[in-house]
Structure 1
Amino acid sequence: MQVIDMHCDVLLRLYFSKGKSKFENAAELDASYEKLKKGGVKVQAFAIFVPPEMKSEQKFQAALDQIHYFYTDVLGNNPSMKIIKEWGDIDRLQDNEIGALLTLEGVDAIGNDLQKLTILYELGVRSIGLTWNNSNLAADGARERRAAGITSFGSEIIEFNNRHKILTDVSHLSEKSFWDVMDEAKYPIASHSNSKTICDHVRNLSDDQARAMFEKNSMIHVVYNPPFVKDREEVVISDLIEHIDHFCSLGGVNHVGLGSDFDGIATKIIDLEDGSKHPNLLNELLKRYSEDEVKGFAYQNFLNCRPT
Structure 2
Amino acid sequence: MTFIFDAHADIWSDVVVRRSRGEREVFRNRHLEKFKKGGVSGGIFVMWIDPPFDQNPKQRLAEIIKAAQAELEEASGLLHLVRSASDFDAAAALGKMPVVWGVEGLSGIGSDLGGLEALYDLGIRHMSLTWNEANPLATGVKQAPDRGLTALGFEAVRQIEALGILLDVSHLNEKSFWEVMSATSKPLIASHSNARALCDAARNLTDEQIRAIASTGGIIGINSYRDFIDLDPAKQTIERFVDHIDYIVSLVGVQHVGLGYDFCDYIEENLIQGSMLDASRSTAPDTLGLETAEKASEVLKHLRERGYKESDIENIAGANFVRLLKDRLEE
TM-score normalized with structure 2 length: 0.86
Q: For residues 209-266 of structure 1, give each alpha carbon's deviation from its aligned partner in whole angstroms, at most 9, with x where no partner exists.
A: 0011111110100011000001122421110011111101112311100111124466
Which whole-Å deviations, capped at 9, do the CAs of 1:263-302 have from their partners, x for residues lacking one?
Answer: 4466522222222211111111111211111101001111
One-letter identity of the residue aligned with 2:35: L
**Which residue of 2 is the match for residue 61 of structure 1?**
59
What is the SS of the residue equivalent to 1:144? coil
Aligned position for 1:205: 205
Corresponding residue number in structure 2 for 1:102? 101
* Aligned pairs for 1:73-92 within 5 A: 73-92=71-90
Q: Is the 8 A contact 1:147 1:174 kept in 2?
A: no
Contact 1:10 1:262 in 2 (8 A): no
Q: Which amino acid is 2:232 matched to? A: R
SS in 1 for 2:115: helix
Match in the other structure for 1:271: 289
Q: Which 5+ residue runs of structure 1 have no aligned equivalent?
A: 27-31
1:285 corresponds in structure 2 to: 303
Q: Which residue of 2 aligns with 1:239?
A: 240
TM-aligned CA deviation for residue 145 of structure 1? 2.3
CA contact (8 A) 2:6 2:44 kept: yes
> 2: CA distance between counterparts of 1:102 and 1:284?
30
Aligned pair count?
Answer: 302
Amino acid at match of 1:206: T
Percentage identity across paired residues of the two chains: 33
Unaligned runs of 5+ in 2: 269-280
Corresponding letter in the other structure for 2:304: L
Contact 1:140 1:150 in 2 (8 A): yes
Q: Structure 1 runs of 4+ off > 4 angstroms?
A: 264-267
Structure 2 distance, partners of 1:75, 1:6, is: 22
| Residues 1:190 and 2:194 aligned together | no
The superposition leaves residues 152-202 of structure 1 with CA deviations (integer Å, 9 ceiling, x where unpaired) of 111111111111111111000011111111122223110100000000000
Equivalent residue number for residue 34 of structure 1: 33
Aligned pairs for 1:83-162 (under 5 A) are 83-94=81-92, 96-162=95-161
Q: Write the distance in 2 (CA, Å) between the matches of 1:80 and 1:205.
A: 35
Higher mean displacement: 178-187 or 164-173: 178-187
* 1:121-178 Cα shifts (integer Å, max 9, x gaps): 1111111111111211101111112432211111111111111111111000011111
Higher helix share: 2
**Superposed CA RMSD:** 1.8
8 A Cα contact 1:52 1:134, kept in partner: no
- TM-score, normalised relative to structure 1: 0.92
* Alpha-carbon contact 2:3-2:319 (below 8 Å) kept: no
Q: Is residue 48 of structure 1 aligned with residue 66 of structure 2?
A: no
Equivalent position SS for 1:134: coil
